Structure formats: structure tokens, C-alpha cells
């Protein structure tokens, strides 16, 4: 029998207005948004619903906003049966809450702290990121090695075949961009980000997050959660903790996670949260699987 995987998006999927229809249509959704505003001590719901966009794009707001939207949708699903789950970067925290490894309240506080620490690390050690389309992983690894004479630069996200994001210091990333263009990449584009996420420049954020995770009550997930760091299923609480710490400076192995979930029996993927980013990446990784997304009240009604 084919299995179902629920996947949760990460930063970059946010948009002004996300979750507003859920809040208006559902008492359950309303209670989640109100609880989040109370826990965080600021009106996250109104930034999600009404912007301004510049504020919603701030890492320390983006992360809890996407997390909250996905969690609300997950709770509004009737019979949300999933055999396995995963999330892209920030989305891994949502997946862990969905799998019962983290309480909603703890997950919300952790993603807010994670956003703050990442922004702070970006200020202390300025960096940037760039998307590289159309080159093999090995070629990009070689490009990063050559460009490291100019500064730190590493692979940050392996999103889908031929779709990779690099991250590091500004001189390192820009040198790698030049080299990638020289290797005939189809597209090389610098991203608008507040730091070099998933690179060694996030080490300060890693230390702060580790302290918070040591205090956090993490349980064994009730379904396997495929880790960004290893692309393998995680079933134990202590493993969850150490991999979340490592995740901040390690590349997101998204394409490999998708392949592993397919290998383990998933023929259907459901993206739960804002946007359609993961749906596109999953289709590029394996065109045979069935992929759907849930982002709005209308999507829920259709299901």
C-alpha cells in the first residue's frame, strides 16, 4: 500500500494575507493565532494578515509566521493521516510538532528564537546566498572549493536535481557565482537574505539555539521525521535535538530526503503551509509521485 508524506515549507514561502481566511472561518484557527500572539507578546497574526511586507520578511517574524500558518492548517485537516513527514529548514520544526516530538508552544518559541539568532549572526558575520540552476552537485562543490580563496562559501540547500543554493561570506559567494557562470550554469542569482544561512557563519546562532534546545522537552516522534542534515528518518528524541543544532550550519538535503521518502513507500506528498515551493521541488526530484498542497480554507474545503 502506498504511503503519504506531509511536508512543511520554510522561509521564502510567506506572503501578506496568509492565514486570514482560516482565522475568519474557524474557531480552532482563531484560538491558535490568539495563543501565538499571547506567547510571543506581539501581534504576529496582524503582520501575517496585513503586513507590511518588509516586516513579514524579517527573519525573526517570517519564521514563526510560516510555522504558525502550517500548524493551523495541520490542525484543521480532518483525519490528517501521514506515514512520514519532513520540513524544509524552518519547516523541520513544524514537522516535529506535527509528529508529536515538540509541543506547539515550544516549537513557536524555538522558531522565534532561531529567527532572532540567525538575524543576529547575519549582523555579526555578514554574508549572502545565491541560487545556482543547471549544474551538478559535484561541480558546485568544486566551484565552492575554488572560490573559498576569496572567503567562506558552501552548499546550503540541495533543493532538487540541478537546483542548489550556496551560502557564505559576500566575497566568497560572489566569486563562486562568477565561477558557476563560467561552468555554464543556466542561472546564477544572488538572493535577498539577512545572512548566510546553513553555513559556518551561523555558528553563533547555533550556540544560542543549542542552549534553548537543551532546556526543551522533546519526545520520540510518533511517525518518522526525515532530517534535513542526514535525509534519513529520525525516531528518537535525542537524535532530534542534536540534528536540529547541526541543521543551522549544515546543508539542507531536501532532494535526498524526498528520494528516501519515495524509497520508503511514499507515493503521495502533501505540502501543508503557504505557497507551492516544495511541490515544485518534489516534482522536479521525482515526477512519478502525486503532489498536492494545502494553503487556504478553500484548499481544505476541496480536500
The whole-number pLDDT of residue 189 equals: 96
**Active-site entry in 13, 48, 70, 89:** 89
pLDDT at position 80: 76
Which band of pLDDT confidence, cut at 50, 70 and 90, is reported for residue 302?
Answer: confident
Work out the percent of the chain whose per-residue pLDDT is above 90: 94
Q: For the CA atoms of 40, 42, 48, 50, what is the dihedral angle to 10 degrees?
A: 170
Q: Which one of 125, 198, 199, 257 is the catalytic residue?
A: 198
Asked if pLDDT for residue 158 goes beyond 80, the answer is yes
- Above pLDDT 70, what percent of the chain? 99
Give which of 212, 244, 209 is closest to 228, Cα–Cα.
244
- When pLDDT is cut at 50, 70 and 90, the band that residue 266 belongs to is very high
Checking if the pLDDT of 153 tops 80, the result is yes
pLDDT tens digit sequence for 35-93: 999 999 999 999 999 999 999 999 999 999 999 999 999 999 877 789 999 999 999 99
CB 22 within 8 A of CB 29: yes
The model's pTM is 0.95
Taking each helix axis as running N to C, give the angle between helix 27-40 and helix 104-124, from 0 to 180 degrees, rounded to the nearest 10: 50
Please confirm, yes or no, whether 2 is among the known catalytic residues: no
Q: How confident is the model at residue 119 (pLDDT cuts 50, 70, 90)?
A: very high
**Is 198 among the catalytic positions?**
yes
Amino acid at each position: 500500500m502506498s504511503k503519504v508524506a506531509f511536508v512543511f515549507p520554510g522561509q521564502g514561502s510567506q506572503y501578506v494575507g496568509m492565514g486570514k481566511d482560516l482565522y475568519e472561518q474557524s474557531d480552532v484557527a482563531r484560538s491558535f493565532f490568539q495563543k501565538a500572539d499571547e506567547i510571543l507578546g506581539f501581534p504576529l497574526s496582524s503582520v501575517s494578515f496585513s503586513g507590511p511586507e518588509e516586516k513579514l520578511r524579517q527573519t525573526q517574524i517570517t519564521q514563526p509566521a510560516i510555522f504558525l500558518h502550517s500548524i493551523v492548517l495541520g490542525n484543521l485537516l480532518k483525519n490528517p493521516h501521514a506515514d512520514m513527514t519532513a520540513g524544509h529548514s524552518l519547516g523541520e520544526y513544524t514537522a516535529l510538532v506535527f509528529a508529536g516530538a515538540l509541543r506547539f508552544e515550544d516549537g513557536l518559541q524555538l522558531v522565534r528564537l532561531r529567527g532572532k539568532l540567525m538575524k543576529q549572526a547575519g549582523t555579526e558575520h555578514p554574508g549572502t546566498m545565491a541560487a545556482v540552476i543547471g549544474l551538478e552537485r559535484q561541480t558546485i562543490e568544486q566551484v565552492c572549493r575554488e572560490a573559498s580563496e576569496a572567503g567562506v562559501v558552501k552548499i546550503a540547500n540541495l533543493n532538487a536535481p540541478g537546483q542548489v543554493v550556496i551560502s557564505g561570506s559576500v566575497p566568497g559567494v560572489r566569486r563562486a557565482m562568477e565561477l558557476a557562470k563560467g561552468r555554464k550554469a543556466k542561472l546564477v542569482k544572488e538572493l535577498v537574505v539577512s545572512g548566510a544561512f546553513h553555513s559556518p557563519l551561523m555558528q553563533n546562532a547555533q550556540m544560542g539555539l543549542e542552549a534553548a534546545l537543551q532546556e526543551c522537552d522533546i519526545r520520540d516522534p510518533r511517525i518518522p521525521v526525515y532530517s534535513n542534515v542526514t535525509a534519513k528518518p529520525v525516531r528518537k528524541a535525542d537524535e532530534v535535538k542534536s540534528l536540529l543544532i547541526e541543521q543551522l550550519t549544515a546543508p539542507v538535503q531536501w532532494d535526498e530526503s524526498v528520494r528516501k521518502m519515495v524509497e520508503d513507500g511514499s507515493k503521495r506528498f502533501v505540502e501543508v503551509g503557504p505557497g507551492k515551493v516544495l511541490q515544485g521541488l518534489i516534482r522536479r526530484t521525482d515526477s512519478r509521485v502525486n503532489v498536492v498542497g494545502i494553503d487556504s480554507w478553500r484548499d481544505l474545503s476541496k480536500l
